[in-house]
Chains A and B, each alone.
Chain A
């Protein structure tokens, strides 16, 4: 979006320089006449772009919602030139422009820093942009919003490129107008790199690539149009022998690595695979017995078989239900929500367990009618009450389109307008509600009638239209939401399958092919388009089979690569040349700790032994400080980013000193207690811990470190020797604590 902090004031000077050097079409440009003073200045096509390039109409400045800055409002990025004309010429008691003496116009005095200006110097008096505005005022501020040639397309040249690390590339932005004219607008267009760690772009369109290999794109924006330059930055290392191709995923991942010259890490060992895939599919560690059996199994297809086994298990449904219920906002705001939250969670979980096709799942959710008890997806309409929230959630979750911006203004770097927003909202216009007899719970029904929604700006009543796609007329008896669901599930729909496969890809690879995973737009291209297309096709061909998608992803050797980098792929962050480790999610970590400590966590109103991944809603974050501290989401947002998987001080304190961790270690039924009195040799007991925690046997050095610790004499603070049983208990508690706080335990790797 727009500048997160201030406008980039430090770059102002740079922009003057660029503009001065390349003062192009506006005075002597290819489309213009031969002499500046004679050519009439266009407000829409000359003045507004200057305001945009100078940052005047950024959301943080005069386009700030609710009045701009200091009483001077401009439309965001100049999307509404007619409004801008009014604000500049007609408002401000006419002081903003001075026909008699253009240089005394408040607009120029402020922009040029001749008068105090909160935004600082934006347009030096000597700059071409200043000249354009000055000339426009001198010509009597002609307004040509209606008559001016319309911008019909924006192109970027070149469209793609292969750039070496640390190379540069000058981009050119070309605008085409309705009168057939073509202009080079490089100097007034805005450029932005989608990954600033990989490439940066100057105000003048010069791309500089850093030293990370991969795909990067630079977006150019001009007057509401967007074009994208895609660059591949090969590392150019010798790729050598690739792991065998198991399916289409490998084909696409390895082809990309070959193209970029990034040699992948080798396929990981069995123990790593077992732990990784169990955590990723079922949200749990493999048991000791499973680890033993898997490591001993010599069959060639044991990995595939284990994936199928996990997908059949209820643990899969529990884990993915915890993912879906959070973004579907299954949130306990009031104690009375318990019934609907349990029902909704059960519906999601059962749908996943039964492998209900995804399109059907979404259709049942979108088109839900009746009461929560009769039809649990109705609970979503209890959480998400306003049509505005409904379409924003639906668009972001199921279409990967963030429409929030377009409620109030044209999307800053997408084609979505306010009309698009309200015509999507119209699908939800006929959602009827009446009291269900249960407090705070409505019965949801289709209210007979013609669906429309009113654009708050134009006051125009708009018929349902799905992101620019016309839908055939909807009869008053028909529920428009089902038509939306039909449109989504069409194999031609460019969003629906794409966002799901990308979301799931990210689940397994920690990084979406598109990032953020729910922000799909032309200006945010995927890092591997062939792979994304192949996943999309596979998912549609399988009739939206979620388990099959998980199977295809996890069976691939791409998923099974080691996390350990080789000398060449260490800097790769987006091409999946190795597995990218990630800290366990809060619930998974709590379950894993219980599994290691041989304990369980009790949650209110749930049967003893309920695992944290199976919790139906966010309310347990209150009773379990662990879950809150480690970032279990509260169901506030449709964005998975609400889940925090980064570390913080409170987490570290918790692991070291919190009472729940202490009591797990000291539990009389726990593993420490049991191992302390176990009569097997100490080495066997240590091995048990390693198999539980890591699904592997300890290495000799690890075994030695543990055995040394277990046999050291223990004394208390007063120097007295502890008796043997007590020392053993404490030693095993210490050892379990040490194991559960290693990175190897806390991360999936």
Chain B
């Protein structure tokens, strides 16, 4: 039993030793090492707890990927259902993708395809909340009631003790936050957000490694001036609030001025061929940046594949009014296939496949039955306004997500939908299982962890669900 009166506020995640530890590794230690030096240090420390630290990259398809046209083809379901894409063999016997995903097919032995994900909300907000926070509510609401798994993980990892790495624990590169967030955990557990197109020449990450030498010098001057005049008698600080503030300030200064954090975010440090392999476009470089950050010590990383690469409406919401679903799938397939296959391949090539779990999913799939409607506007993957075109609508009853790394026994597929791809019928998995699988990888005890909400009610981080056995390392 725990104290009944510690409701609402999470503990301050940094302890008295945290700052010292940070200063040692963060400045004195970390700062004096080159990146190869850091990598060497990491490999030397392979057996240490730090090296064992698990991480998750979630790649999000906002709006929902058509499972039929990608990972769960149903070529024999008839013209009202099956799309135009031919199934192709993959490296895994019996597993077929559509022809849109040749590169992933070639590395299917490095992933597990879960074809039987099911949730019960048909709207984007409720669907996202179900999958990412486990909220069973089927109605769309403006704000999440429960924290998403990313915020929960950030919170739980912070409970383990002071963070030694100068990088934030949770980073979102164009993160899927439209419908989700930390809810009652508070903004302290929101991600450090990187937005924009990492492939753009002008791309820069605010609040990371300032380049202007004048600015850096000035910050240093300001900080030392502040130190001189920041003389409030600290003896009252029994709750260590001031100490915590100091920790965050030095962490912030570290992010801003340490060349090493800049290095972690700097894609130009990657060899050209690696950048090419991921694809010289927003999605490719987002996933490369994700890999880079996780390698440098970020624990939770989410990134949303959105924007013009999706087609006219900038997401995967391929209703006929928005996109011609098949044109849209073709339009984005090459970039998507290249980026995702590169990330998975790279995770294995760099020996991160035990430590880092990669999950690729959207909030739901798309209706197996094709619907036709008039386009509301012309553009990429959409015919001019008024033209009838095929689309697929929201489909939470059965859809696919893919999993890689995380020490899982890759090269197989789990579960199945029925013959038209409508209902998950084998090894049906729900949001609780999805969340439990991720928490399990991060070493978070999802069965017995309860977090108090605003009312002080202990709320389980997974209400119903178990880690999916085939997806745990």
Residue of A nearest to B10 (CB): A646
CB pair A717 B241 closer than 8 Å: no
Q: Report if B79 contacts A (CB, 8 A).
A: no
CA distance A59 to B448 in the complex (A): 10
CA distance A641 to B186 in the complex (A): 10
Q: Report if A453 contacts B (CB, 8 A).
A: no
Chain B residues lying within 8 Å of A742, measured Cβ to Cβ, are 226, 229-232
Known A565-B236, A651-B248: A702·B225 in contact at CB below 8 Å = no
CA distance A735 to B252 in the complex (A): 19
Stretch of B42-50, B277-285, B289-297, B458-466 contacting A (4+ beta carbons < 8 Å) = B458-466
B257 to chain A, nearest CB (A): 10
Chain B residues lying within 8 Å of A705, measured Cβ to Cβ, are 225, 228-229
Q: Report if A440 contacts B (CB, 8 A).
A: no
CB pair B241 A646 closer than 8 Å: yes
CB pair A749 B232 closer than 8 Å: yes
Residue of A nearest to B169 (CB): A649
CB pair B457 A657 closer than 8 Å: no
CA distance A636 to B147 in the complex (A): 13
Known A1-B457, A404-B457, A734-B222: A573·B238 in contact at CB below 8 Å = yes
A682 to chain B, nearest CB (A): 15
CB pair A644 B187 closer than 8 Å: yes
CB pair A192 B1 closer than 8 Å: yes
Residue of B nearest to A219 (CB): B4
Residue of A nearest to B190 (CB): A650
Q: Report if B80 contacts A (CB, 8 A).
A: no
Stretch of A4-12, A96-104, A132-140 contacting B (4+ beta carbons < 8 Å) = A4-12
CB pair B236 A642 closer than 8 Å: no
CA distance A656 to B448 in the complex (A): 39
CA distance A333 to B222 in the complex (A): 40
Chain B residues lying within 8 Å of A717, measured Cβ to Cβ, are 212-214, 217
B288 to chain A, nearest CB (A): 24
Q: Report if A24 contacts B (CB, 8 A).
A: no
Q: Report if B23 contacts A (CB, 8 A).
A: no
Q: Report if B386 contacts A (CB, 8 A).
A: no
Picked from A6, A333, A515, A631, the residue with its CB within 8 Å of the CB of B5 is: A515
CB pair A650 B242 closer than 8 Å: no
Q: Report if A461 contacts B (CB, 8 A).
A: no
Q: Report if A674 contacts B (CB, 8 A).
A: no
Q: Report if A516 contacts B (CB, 8 A).
A: yes
Picked from A193, A641, A651, A656, the residue with its CB within 8 Å of the CB of B219 is: A656
Q: What are the interface flags for A69-100 relative to B under an 8 Å C-beta threshold, 1 for contact and 0 otherwise?
A: 00000000000000000000000000000000
CB pair A118 B447 closer than 8 Å: yes
CA distance A392 to B212 in the complex (A): 54
Contact size range, A: 35 or more
Chain B residues lying within 8 Å of A744, measured Cβ to Cβ, are 230-232
CB pair B192 A649 closer than 8 Å: yes
CB pair A652 B248 closer than 8 Å: yes
Picked from A516, A564, A570, A582, the residue with its CB within 8 Å of the CB of B456 is: A516
Q: Report if B414 contacts A (CB, 8 A).
A: no
CB pair B218 A64 closer than 8 Å: no
CA distance A60 to B447 in the complex (A): 9
CB pair B4 A636 closer than 8 Å: no
CA distance A515 to B251 in the complex (A): 32
CA distance A322 to B35 in the complex (A): 49
Chain A residues lying within 8 Å of B244, measured Cβ to Cβ, are 646-647
CB pair B231 A637 closer than 8 Å: no
Residue of B nearest to A583 (CB): B241
Q: Report if B255 contacts A (CB, 8 A).
A: yes
Query: Which residues of A (1-22) have their CB < 8 Å from a CB of B?
Result: 1-8
Q: Report if B449 contacts A (CB, 8 A).
A: yes
Q: Report if A730 contacts B (CB, 8 A).
A: yes
CB pair B251 A652 closer than 8 Å: yes
Q: What are the interface flags for B205-233 relative to A under an 8 Å C-beta threshold, 1 for contact and 0 otherwise?
A: 01100101110011101100110111111
Chain B residues lying within 8 Å of A392, measured Cβ to Cβ, are 455
Q: Report if B253 contacts A (CB, 8 A).
A: yes
Contacts across chains A and B counted by CB atoms under 8 Å: 210
Chain B residues lying within 8 Å of A647, measured Cβ to Cβ, are 12, 241, 244-245, 248
Q: What are the interface flags for A632-675 relative to B under an 8 Å C-beta threshold, 1 for contact and 0 otherwise?
A: 00101111011010111111110011000000000000000000
CB pair A564 B233 closer than 8 Å: yes
Q: What are the interface flags for B21-35 relative to A under an 8 Å C-beta threshold, 1 for contact and 0 otherwise?
A: 000000000000000
Query: Which residues of B (329-344) have their CB < 8 Å from a CB of A?
Result: none
Q: Report if A229 contacts B (CB, 8 A).
A: no
Q: Report if B418 contacts A (CB, 8 A).
A: no
CA distance A629 to B207 in the complex (A): 14
CA distance A581 to B233 in the complex (A): 11
Chain A residues lying within 8 Å of B4, measured Cβ to Cβ, are 1, 192, 194, 413, 519, 523-524
CB pair B222 A737 closer than 8 Å: yes
CB pair A5 B445 closer than 8 Å: yes
Q: Report if A170 contacts B (CB, 8 A).
A: no
CB pair B188 A644 closer than 8 Å: yes
Q: Report if B268 contacts A (CB, 8 A).
A: no
CB pair A652 B245 closer than 8 Å: yes
Chain B residues lying within 8 Å of A6, measured Cβ to Cβ, are 445, 448-449
Chain A residues lying within 8 Å of B245, measured Cβ to Cβ, are 583, 647, 652, 743, 746
Chain B residues lying within 8 Å of A196, measured Cβ to Cβ, are 2-3
B143 to chain A, nearest CB (A): 6
Q: Report if B249 contacts A (CB, 8 A).
A: yes
Chain A residues lying within 8 Å of B12, measured Cβ to Cβ, are 646-647
B46 to chain A, nearest CB (A): 28
Picked from B5, B143, B210, B236, the residue with its CB within 8 Å of the CB of A519 is: B5
Q: Report if B17 contacts A (CB, 8 A).
A: no
CA distance A286 to B426 in the complex (A): 68
CB pair B255 A653 closer than 8 Å: yes
Q: Report if A580 contacts B (CB, 8 A).
A: yes
Q: Report if A190 contacts B (CB, 8 A).
A: yes
Known A515-B5, A744-B231: A649·B456 in contact at CB below 8 Å = no
Chain B residues lying within 8 Å of A519, measured Cβ to Cβ, are 4-5, 7, 456
Q: Report if B184 contacts A (CB, 8 A).
A: yes
Q: What are the interface flags for B257-278 relative to A under an 8 Å C-beta threshold, 1 for contact and 0 otherwise?
A: 0000000000000000000000
Q: Report if B36 contacts A (CB, 8 A).
A: no
Q: Report if A396 contacts B (CB, 8 A).
A: yes
Query: Which residues of A (181-224) have their CB < 8 Å from a CB of B?
Result: 190, 192-196
A676 to chain B, nearest CB (A): 16
Chain B residues lying within 8 Å of A497, measured Cβ to Cβ, are none
CB pair B5 A706 closer than 8 Å: no
CB pair A5 B449 closer than 8 Å: yes
Residue of A nearest to B234 (CB): A743
A619 to chain B, nearest CB (A): 11
Q: Report if A628 contacts B (CB, 8 A).
A: yes
Q: Report if A500 contacts B (CB, 8 A).
A: no
CA distance A614 to B213 in the complex (A): 40
**Beyond A193-B3, A717-B217: 17 further Cβ-contacts under 8 Å?**
A5-B445, A118-B447, A192-B1, A194-B4, A195-B5, A392-B455, A402-B455, A524-B5, A580-B236, A629-B187, A641-B9, A647-B12, A647-B245, A649-B168, A649-B192, A738-B225, A749-B232
Chain A to chain B contacts (Cβ below 8 Å), 18 pairs: A2-B1, A5-B450, A7-B448, A333-B142, A413-B4, A519-B456, A523-B4, A581-B236, A644-B187, A644-B188, A649-B255, A650-B188, A652-B252, A653-B207, A653-B255, A706-B229, A738-B222, A743-B232
The 8 closest A-B pairs by CB, nearest first: A641-B8, A6-B448, A652-B252, A717-B213, A637-B454, A738-B226, A648-B188, A652-B248
Interface residues of chain B, those whose CB is within 8 Å of chain A, are 1-5, 7-9, 12, 142-143, 168, 184, 186-188, 190, 192, 206-207, 210, 212-214, 217-219, 221-222, 225-226, 228-236, 238-239, 241-242, 244-245, 248-249, 251-253, 255-256, 445, 447-452, 454-458, 460, 463-464
Interface residues of chain A, those whose CB is within 8 Å of chain B, are 1-8, 59-60, 64, 66, 118, 190, 192-196, 333-334, 392, 396, 402, 404-405, 413, 515-516, 519, 523-524, 563-565, 570-571, 573, 578, 580-583, 628-629, 631, 634, 636-639, 641-642, 644, 646-653, 656-657, 701-702, 705-706, 709, 716-717, 730, 734-735, 737-739, 741-744, 746-747, 749
